[in-house]
Amino acid sequence: MGEERDPKRMYEELLSYYRRYYLQPRRFLDREIAKRVSAGMSWEEAVASLYREAFGVEREAPREEAGTGLDAALESLKGAESRQQGLLLALALAFTLAFLAAAVSGGPSAREQGTEASHETRCRTRWAAG
């Protein structure tokens, strides 16, 4: 099958591959590696095994290194964009919840304010009369 591939490079290629299918590709990949290491494989063997499963066989090094670098950069940007969208969604949700909580637990309603005012008026009237 030719020369051995660098396990770190295979890991990065797997990570790039899993970004297409998983929201948290690094977590998924690390868990899969941990399962295999627990079963007795070394980290390098686990990565090579996952690489073979994902790509069929150990691929030869790509001829166009510049193209691979650009693909990796594009995948990285896509991942950053999805993380940014997730952060914006979380912030919007937090502001919505804060707004709803403020609306629900806000000051007394107009009806309650009217009741308090009429109670105050009654007390003054009784005090003045008595």
Query: Within 13 Å and on the Cβ side, how many CA atoms surround 23?
Result: 4
* 21 token code pair: 């299918």
Asked which of 36-40, 50-54, 57-61, 91-95 is least confident by mean pLDDT, the reply is: 57-61
Q: How many Å apart are CA 16 and CA 25, to the nearest integer? A: 8
Angle 62-64-69 from CA coordinates, rounded to 5°: 90
Average pLDDT over residues 81-87: 69
Domain parsing of the chain, residue ranges = 7-99
Mean residue pLDDT across the chain: 78
Residue 1 has pLDDT above 50, yes or no: no
The pLDDT of residue 5:
80
pLDDT in tens, 58-77: 555 555 444 566 777 777 77
